[in-house]
Amino acid sequence: MSIKDETYKDKKVISIGIVSEITGLSERQIRYYEERKLIFPHRTKKGTRKYSFSDVERLMEIAEKIEEGVQTFEIRKEMLKKEKAVVREKMIRGQLNARFGIPKSS
């Protein structure tokens, strides 16, 4: 995704303290979810984590699942499954477009 294609929801501009306030999660919990590869903040040159609104939404989803008793490895497995499905869909759309000239949909 190029910077031009990036929506406001995807811009990594929110500090971990603000994310903690918004989500109700501790900074330690947020860092733990990063360690478990459930969230991927941007790091500034000085190492400061920056999050997007999309990251905040994902953290809220993670917190709900954890409350329901879902383990972090299960959440990660589900995330990977969804990512693979998105990639597969994009590949199929590209093949259809190349073969039949079907325009991209948003």
Predicted confidence (pLDDT) per residue in 32-81, tens digit:
999 999 999 999 999 999 999 999 999 999 999 999 999 999 999 999 99
Domain boundaries, the chain: 1-70, 71-106
Tens digit of each residue's pLDDT (9 = 90 or more) over 16-35 = 999 999 999 999 999 999 99
How many Å separate Cα 31 from the centre of its chain? Answer: 14
pTM of the model: 0.75
Distance CA 22, CA 34 (A): 17
Which of 19, 14, 43 minimizes the C-alpha distance to 29?
Answer: 19
The architecture CATH gives domain 1-70: Orthogonal Bundle (1.10)
Identify the pLDDT of residue 1.
47
Amino acid identity, position 4: K
How many Å separate Cα 77 from the centre of its chain? Answer: 14
Q: The tokens of 49 are what? A: 């984590």
